[in-house]
Structures are given as C-alpha cells and as structure tokens.
Homo-oligomer: A and B are copies of this chain.
Amino acid sequence: MTVTKQIKELANGIYHSILKKKQPKIESPLRALSNVKYDEKVGYFDLRGKKKARTLTVGTVKTFAQTLRMMALSKELVEKEDIATKREAYYVSKNWGDARFKEQPESDTVMDDVEAMLMVNREQMGFIPEEKGGDIAGKLIVVDKDADTGKQLKIDCTKMGSGAYSIPSSVEDLKFETNAKFILAIETAGMFQRLVKHNYWKKANCILVSMGGVPTRACRRFIRRLSDAKKLPVYVFTDGDPYGFGSIYRTLKVGSGNAAHINKYFCVPNAKFIGITPQDIIDYKLPSHPLKDVDIKKIKDLIKNDPFVIHHKEWQKALQQMAKMKVRAEQQALAKWGLNYVIDKYLPDKLKNNKTWLP
C-alpha cells in the first residue's frame, strides 16, 4: 500500500469516527529498547509489539491536530514529489494557526509518531534528513533521474577521479548497475581517500563507501538497498575500538533501539566486520592507545545490555579480549608498516580469511 493511500485511509477512519460521534484514536508502536528483540534470522532489532494509543480528548487536541496536519503535509510532499527536512516541516507549521509548533523537538516527535504509525521510514513520506553523508567510489553505476525532465541519469562511480559520488538525502528511488563482488564500508574519510587515490576498487573489484563515523540514515539505506538489489556482501572496516564495534558497525548491521520501527529499512543484516579486530592488534603488531574510561564503560555496557552482542559469542569474546588487552587501535595504525600496507597486505589477507572476521 502506498503512503498516500495509507494516509487517506487513516484520515478517513478518523473522519468517520467523528461523524459517528466516537472518539477518534491513533495508534503507534512504543519506541524503546524495552520493546525490541533481536533474532539473527530476522537480522535487525525488531519491535515486540507494544503500542501506545492517542485518543482525541481536551488534553490531546493540539497534538492530535498537529499529527493530522503532519500527515497532510506528507501527503502533499509525496503527491508533488517534493521534500522537506524536519526543520522545514517545523517552519511550515508556523502557518498552521493554533496547531503551529512552538519548538522543533515537538514537531520532530510528531513526525516520528507518524513514521511509526505508518511503519515506513520518513523518507518514503517525503521527509529528508537534515544531514547528508556518505561518499561512494568504485564499480557502481547509480541510476537516478533528472528532476525537471524525468530523463534517466546514469552516474558512473568509476569516473569520479580523486572525488566521489555523494549520497543524496533520500535514496528511495535510486537504481543500481554493478558487477562488483562486494561493498567495503569504511569508517574514516582519510582511509577512504587513500583507497580511492590508489584505485583499490579496481584491484579488488568492489564498491567503496566512506561512512565518516556513524553512518547517516541515507548512507545506511543506500548500502542496504544496494546490497539487497545486487545481492552483494558488505564488509565493514572501522577503527579497532568500542565505538567502531558498538556504534558504527552495530548500528549499520542491526539498527538502533529508539528507531526500531524503521530498522527493517536501515539495517544491513548481511554486513560482516573484517577489522580492525582486537586480534588484529596482536597479529599485525599495531601501535595502540590505552582504553579510556568511556571505552571500558562502553565494553561493559555492550556485553551486558546489547541484544546483538548477547546473541553473538564471538563479539563477547572479542570485547572481553580488548578489555584484557586494555588498548585500542585506529585503522590508520597500519601505516606503521608503510602507507600502503593496508592495500598491499592487510585488506587482501583479511578478505581471504573469513575466520578472522566477526559476525
């Protein structure tokens, strides 16, 4: 069912409740880690099914009206093929009379509610993230269209030179052509630039993605859609530290707790972690830094509370190993053995031997 149709049906239900003099009600899933489960076969943090309902009363009338207005704005965006950021949506509300939002966090919450209600990601409703992020280079042709003419546009990511293709805020309508063997998702822009500079994607027959830290929504969705469409494995290459494991990789692979209603669109369940693993720090004799207090806290927290880590013994072992070693290592630490050691030795070795990966 299309978003427009869903919105119409919801609105229709409310309209008829009112005509029948019944109190109209809108329902959305409860968004919290407590309402989340992890099943490896499903592949992402999924909702347990708890819901919250909002019935129209004197106390809820304003939020209720705002929710309907937000749905109407979404319908308009989808029909006109336009877009709006959360911030723009907030300012548009300034013309909604008494239903206008006072502060942006209010309108963000209502937008999240509508997103959860419709069980779609808000990009499908015409709302785009404030932040862009994610660069692509390598064996991929992105198929987009010209905004004015609707004519197909093919963007060849092997022809970007030292630059890259920058992922748009919304990737829902992109199509892909590729004969690459895999996607390599990289934490830092510096490492990405090195691999681009030396056309690593040509040697390895792959697609390079620069995440620049924790990947944005658009970057995660792009990798997911590309991986699904072309049945491509996704290998993840981050710093060897709890942030790289628990924030960057875990978010990319299974999603996060407070966005569980949309994880199914954003997670990349077939992602594998190729490094830097704690064992790599030993095997490759990498220069390292002592773990900070915040690192140690994060390791404990992941082992104790994270459904993903609890599910995977290998991750528990790796995290315990790091806690014992008391050090972390950056992906640039490989430069100790020469600037291009990562290209000539580390990546080829690691890609050949999946026993050195983490799930």
Q: Check if A128 is an interface residue, CB within 8 A of chain B.
A: yes
Contact of A83 among B130, B193, B332, B333 (CB under 8 A): B193
A164 close to B162 (CB less than 8 A): no
B166 close to A161 (CB less than 8 A): no
Residues of chain B within 8 A (CB-CB) of A78 are none
| Assembled-state Cα–Cα distance A330/B92 (Å) | 13
Residues of chain B within 8 A (CB-CB) of A334 are 91
Q: Check if A79 is an interface residue, CB within 8 A of chain B.
A: no
Which residue on B lies nearest to A135, using beta carbons? B166
Contact of A199 among B147, B160, B165 (CB under 8 A): B147
Q: Check if A169 is an interface residue, CB within 8 A of chain B.
A: yes
Contacts A132-B210, A330-B87 given; does A161 touch B146 at CB 8 Å: yes
A243 → chain B closest CB, angstroms: 15
Q: Check if A131 is an interface residue, CB within 8 A of chain B.
A: yes
B155 close to A163 (CB less than 8 A): yes
Chain A at the B interface: SS class: mixed
| Assembled-state Cα–Cα distance A181/B83 (Å) | 27
Residues of chain B within 8 A (CB-CB) of A146 are 161, 199
Contacts A169-B189, A190-B169 given; does A145 touch B161 at CB 8 Å: yes
Contacts A130-B189, A193-B83 given; does A161 touch B170 at CB 8 Å: no
How large, as a class, is the contact surface on chain A? Answer: 35 or more
Contacts A161-B145, A199-B147 given; does A190 touch B82 at CB 8 Å: no
Contact of A128 among B132, B159, B193, B287 (CB under 8 A): B193
Which residue on B lies nearest to A160, using beta carbons? B155
A117 → chain B closest CB, angstroms: 23
Q: Check if A238 is an interface residue, CB within 8 A of chain B.
A: no
Residues of chain B within 8 A (CB-CB) of A189 are 130-132, 169
- Known A-B contacts: A132-B192, A147-B199. Give 6 more (CB < 8 A): A82-B339, A91-B333, A132-B135, A168-B193, A168-B196, A169-B193
10 residue pairs, one from A and one from B, having the closest CB atoms: A144-B161, A85-B190, A166-B166, A162-B168, A91-B335, A132-B189, A164-B166, A88-B335, A94-B336, A87-B332
Could you list some 6 contacts between A and B, CB below 8 A?
Answer: A83-B194, A90-B332, A92-B335, A147-B197, A147-B198, A163-B165
